[in-house]
Amino acid sequence: MSHRIAIASDHAAFAMKSEVAEWLRERGHDVLDLGTNGPESVDYPDYGFRLGRAIEAGEAAFGVAICGSGIGISIAVNRIAAARCALVSEPLSASLARQHNDANVIALGARLIGIEMAKACITAFLETEFLGDRHQRRVEKLSNPQGA
């Protein structure tokens, strides 16, 4: 199944983002590349916010956020209420993020995992469906912390 996927990174992950974007296109996905567009130093929150806002605006169904560790950009993405970003480093976590948390963005650490593991995580993420059922009410609470 083909998806519209937003992708963003900081300078530390520019090379991985570029390779992942091309790989996704080769697999028939429509990729919305939100930058960065080179190895010059940038601030990861700016790109995490861009990705989260693209999800919020419906510009993409899923997102891939990449920085050196994956931590900073995932925090930035999660500041946008419509985005549910999970930092993953192996395929099982990527699948569980979709199944149980209805994650619509995954974050990867370019300095921590290689390109083949990144691709394996993204594949697991995109091929896994949200289970719904008892998980639905929990996911709803993620967007409404005042109601919990």
pLDDT digits (tens, 9 = 90+) for 4-47: 999 999 999 999 999 999 999 999 999 999 999 999 999 999 99
Angle between helices 134-142 and 91-101 (to 10 degrees): 90
For the stretch 102-121, pLDDT in tens is 999 999 999 999 999 999 99
CB 105 within 8 A of CB 83: yes
Q: Which of 78, 84, 76, 62 is nearest to 10 (CA)?
A: 76
Helix axes 115-127, 14-26, angle to 10 degrees: 50
Structure confidence by residue, pLDDT tens digits, 73-103: 999 999 999 999 999 999 999 999 999 999 9
| Structure tokens given for 144 | 């409404």
Active-site positions? 67, 100
CB 10 within 8 A of CB 35: no
> For residues 99-121, b (16+ Cβ closer than 10 Å) or e, as one string?
eebbbbbbbbbbeebeeeebbbb
Where do the domains of the chain lie, and which CATH numbers do they carry? Answer: 4-147 (3.40.1400.10)
Range list of H helices, 41-89: 44-56, 71-77
pTM of the model: 0.93
Determine contact, residues 10/44, Cβ cutoff 8 Å. Answer: yes
From the list 107, 101, 100, 106, the residue with the least C-alpha distance to 125 is 106
